Structure 1
Amino acid sequence: MFGFAAVLLGSMAALGIALTVVDLREHRLPNRLVLPLYPLGLGYAAALALGRSSLAPVLGAAASAAVLFGAFYLLYRGGGGLGGGDVKLAGAVGVVSGAHGWEAAIAASVVAVLAGGLCALVLIAVRRAGRRTCIPFGPFLVAGATVAIGWGLLGG
């Protein structure tokens, strides 16, 4: 089962890299790259569930996806500077990280928000951006997911 989970993680990593490049260049997260993360993430959660003989990874993935999607949707609707692609990617991050428990999903979100905020502050401090400058958030979501998955795999 580990081989199957590794293949799924590799596929998700490749999509994460592609999303990061596209978002940095074009300030968008295309559906053709974001949406495949949902079935890949569910497959990953199912592989973990089979390996652990427990439904917890699948239930955690589904619940975390719903919570992160909903929270980021509210931020999007509230004018928080997020785009629709960020909302969809947050849901996908919830699927993948939530397979390791709700703590991992929260960690993914916290890492993304803190890293994005720190980057914005640095860019403002060095006068490369202003308060209204759009900064792609997808790379920070991908980084948060990477940290959360690593934490989950190491038994965090």
Structure 2
Amino acid sequence: MDVNEINACDQDSFVKLFSNVFEHHPEAAEYVYDKRPFSDRSHLLKMFFHYMETLPLEVKKQVLINHPMLGSKKPMTNESKNEQTSAGLNQLTNSEEEVMDVYNKRYYEKFGFPYIICVKENSKDRILSDIKKRYENDMETEISTGINEVSKIAMYRILDIVK
């Protein structure tokens, strides 16, 4: 779709289309809908990023919690499934699955939300290495890093929708 088609969407269509820009958080699409008309795709992106910037800390944490654990076999949104498949996370070896599982659990226990990284910008090996390093961070750093990664994910999701 182009930005003119996006501007012409009714609220229900717009929210449905952008409901998973931030995983399981359609409130972002509801907020951004009211910012129409968008002059271009960049303007649309800025409105989603602005939404994220204005959220209180507790809501940002909930946005992080909404994401699935990487390499998980549990059901997830089509967007997450496609992203994880593109990084090869659906084809982990047994030893890679073990490492991912151990660090996912440790990370979640420490921070209260899953480890999040924009898989479209990383390889499976990089992800497996990064989760170990980020586990050593403090809570403030990880919330900030997680939100930054969520914003990258959102950007790619929007770019997949709007041409």
Please give the TM-score of this superposition, normalised by the length of structure 1.
Answer: 0.36
Q: Determine which structure has greater relative contact order: mean sequence separation of CA pairs < 8 Å that are 6+ residues apart, divided by chain length.
A: 2
- Look at both structures and tell me which one has the larger radius of gyration over its CA atoms: 2
Please give the TM-score of this superposition, normalised by the length of structure 2.
Answer: 0.35
